[in-house]
Amino acid sequence: MKQERFSFKENTLYMCGHSLGPMPKQAQKIIERCLKDWAQEGVLAWNKSDWIHLPYKMGQLIAPLIGAKEDEVIVCDSTSVNLFKVLHSALRLNPKRRIIITSSGNFPADLYIAQGIAHFNNNIELCYVPDDSNNIIESLTEEVAVLTLAHVDYRTGLIYDMREITERAHELGIIVVWDLSHSVGVVPLSLTKDNIDFAVGCTYKYLNGGPGAPSFVYANRRHHKNLVCPIYGWIGHRAPFTFSKSFENTPGVGAFLGGTPYILSMKALEGALGVFDDIVIERLYKDTINNGNYLIDLLNQKVPELVCVSSRVLGERGGHIAFKHDQAYAISRALIAEDLICDYRNPDLIRLSMPSLYLDLHDMQKASLIIEKVIRDKLYQKAEFQQKLFVT
Ligand SMILES: *Cc1c(COP(=O)(O)O)cnc(C)c1O
């Protein structure tokens, strides 16, 4: 199946889908078709190929993967920008309160967005709490407007209990904004059923949407009547082509749309989402955990100096596992030189993901042999692997 649906460099073990998924062949095909439409139709393609509605169409394709209704999801902009918009909207829904809570180990991009909001809004205060669920739940009070968390920890892969935390926050009237960047496409999600308020997430990780693929926004129907977006984007206008002088947002999640949609990126994403047509996420997740646990077992036996910092338990870990080593960066580079694509996170983690969409137990055996060789023969000690590249 993997050879059928994805393009890989030959003999490569692609274990970096937590950062950028591999290229689905269908994405290439659909982009090529889109380029043809552009060449032949030019501006007419906005209507003829219905480009203008792609943000909604992509939202409808993502909805079943996150357990949402079709009108609760749209695709636009980056996750950072969407988080900015959604946090502002959530604050508006709780106008008498002024505190945003997040975890101190949240993904730095998300911390920066929250810091910016606090910096530019004098009355808003950002508070950090330690990462574990109990600390987070204990920190919640009736003064808190918004709680924002990443569902899966980008270092360890640890998963928060989204339903439980949201429920406890709701008891105190707090709106919760989840970042699903490391869950969507690999971890089963049921946003509508779990009564989740808002979520954002990347489409270029486990959804394989391509470099710079636009992000998604989920807003529960319950909030649709009261949505305000701090960016008055004309594509989010109730009737953009009346060119009316004053902004009036379209009802529903479309209110979060900004400017002109990124059509080439949307088309790559359309091809990528097609891969999930016959995929059951629960099954994919279970097999992914099995892949990872098998690799952990093999490495525990053969390379005990690599310390796994991820949980082995179904439901407690996302799609990747991380190993600690004081030479983590050089090891990650040496593994890449052996065609095992992985990455490094400061200061001492090697991350490997193994979505069963394109990796199986046999691949885990191959990976363990490569890792064993790199560590045993100290291949990572080569000078060229010591110098950090800009992107790690
Ligand atoms: C990958 C990731 C991002 C990246 O956001 P961009 O705006 O697409 O760069 C943000 N948040 C989390 C939790 C992520 O994992």
Residue 110 Cβ inside 6 Å of ligand 1? The answer reads yes
Which residue has the least CA distance to atom 5 on ligand 1? 79
Residue 153 Cβ inside 6 Å of ligand 1? The answer reads no
Q: By C-alpha distance, which of 193, 186, 187, 130 is closest to 166?
A: 193
Q: By C-alpha distance, which of 344, 297, 294 is closest to 323?
A: 344
Answer for the pair 205, 79: CB distance below 8 angstroms, yes or no. no
Its pTM stands at 0.97
Q: What confidence tier does 3 reach under pLDDT thresholds 50, 70, 90?
A: low
As a whole number, the mean pLDDT across the chain is 97
Q: Among 107, 180, 391, which residue has the most ligand 1 atoms within 8 Å of its CB, making it the best to mutate?
A: 107
The CA distance from 29 to 326, in Å, is 43
- Verify whether residue 107 is a known catalytic residue: yes
Which residue has the least CA distance to atom 15 on ligand 1? 181
CA 361 → CA 89, 158, 208, 295, 318, distances in Å? 44, 22, 21, 8, 17
Using one digit for the tens of pLDDT, what is the confidence trace for 142-164?
999 999 999 999 999 999 999 99
Distance 179 CA to ligand 1 centre (A): 8
The answer regarding whether domain 25-276 maps to CATH 3.40.640.10 reads yes
Using one digit for the tens of pLDDT, what is the confidence trace for 198-212?
999 999 999 999 999
Question: Among the atoms of ligand 1, which is closest to the Cα of residue 205?
Answer: 1
329, pLDDT greater than 70: yes
Q: Among 19, 80, 113, 200, which residue has the most ligand 1 atoms within 8 Å of its CB, making it the best to mutate?
A: 80
Residue with tokens 């049921």: 190
Question: Among the atoms of ligand 1, which is closest to the Cα of residue 80?
Answer: 7
Provide the CB-side half-sphere exposure for 285 (13 A, CA). Answer: 20
- Helix H or strand E segment including 145: strand 144-150
Residue with tokens 């439980």: 164
Q: What confidence tier does 4 reach under pLDDT thresholds 50, 70, 90?
A: confident
- Verify whether residue 285 is a known catalytic residue: no
Here the tokens at position 263 are: 């059509």
Q: Among 110, 149, 177, which residue has the most ligand 1 atoms within 8 Å of its CB, making it the best to mutate?
A: 110
Provide the CB-side half-sphere exposure for 320 (13 A, CA). Answer: 32
Enumerate helices (H) and strands (E) in the chain, giving the number of each. Answer: 12, 15
Using one digit for the tens of pLDDT, what is the confidence trace for 231-279?
999 999 999 999 999 999 999 999 999 999 999 999 999 999 999 999 9
- Verify whether residue 373 is a known catalytic residue: no
For 354-374, give one letter per residue: b (16+ CB within 10 A) or e: bbbbbbeeebbeebbebbbeb
Distance 305 CA to ligand 1 centre (A): 31
**Which of 168, 205, 267, 317 is the catalytic position?**
205
Residue 68 Cβ inside 6 Å of ligand 1? The answer reads no
Cβ neighbourhood burial of 74 (10 Å; 0-12, 13-18, 19+): buried
Residue 2 pLDDT: 60
93, pLDDT greater than 90: yes
In degrees and rounded to multiples of 5, residue 12 shows phi and psi of: -100, 140
- Verify whether residue 179 is a known catalytic residue: yes
**Which of 107, 216, 285, 323 is the catalytic position?**
107
Residue 181 Cβ inside 6 Å of ligand 1? The answer reads yes
Hey, what's the torsion of the CAs at 104, 88, 267, 251, to 10 degrees?
150
In degrees and rounded to multiples of 5, residue 352 shows phi and psi of: -135, 130
Q: By C-alpha distance, which of 346, 310, 301 is closest to 326?
A: 346
Residue 72 Cβ inside 6 Å of ligand 1? The answer reads no
Give me the count of residues in the chain.
392
Here the tokens at position 62 are: 């993502």
**Which of 216, 329, 351, 363 is the catalytic position?**
351
Query: CATH for 280-385, among 2.160.20.60, 3.90.1150.10, 3.40.630.150, 3.40.50.1100?
Result: 3.90.1150.10
3-state secondary structure of 102: strand
Q: By C-alpha distance, which of 346, 339, 293, 301 is closest to 319?
A: 293
Report the pLDDT averaged over residues 43-57.
98
Question: Among the atoms of ligand 1, which is closest to the Cα of residue 81?
Answer: 7
Using one digit for the tens of pLDDT, what is the confidence trace for 22-31?
999 999 999 9
Residue 1 pLDDT: 56
Domain ranges of the chain: 25-276, 280-385
305, pLDDT greater than 80: yes
**Residues in Cβ contact with 320 at an 8 Å cutoff, skipping those fewer than 6 apart:** 18, 157, 182, 292, 310, 351, 352, 353, 354
Question: Among the atoms of ligand 1, which is closest to the Cα of residue 182?
Answer: 15
Answer for the pair 89, 230: CB distance below 8 angstroms, yes or no. yes
The CA distance from 138 to 258, in Å, is 36
β-pairing verdict for 73-76 and 13-14: unpaired
The CA distance from 391 to 347, in Å, is 14
Residue 130 pLDDT: 97
3-state secondary structure of 58: helix
Helices (H), the chain: 2-5, 25-41, 45-48, 54-66, 79-93, 108-120, 133-138, 162-171, 263-274, 281-302, 328-337, 361-376
**Which of 131, 153, 179, 343 is the catalytic position?**
179
Here the tokens at position 253 are: 């999640």
- Verify whether residue 205 is a known catalytic residue: yes
Which residue has the least CA distance to atom 6 on ligand 1? 79
β-pairing verdict for 144-150 and 340-341: unpaired
CA 30 → CA 27, 72, 75, 215, distances in Å? 5, 25, 17, 19
**Residues in Cβ contact with 331 at an 8 Å cutoff, skipping those fewer than 6 apart:** 325, 350, 374, 375, 380
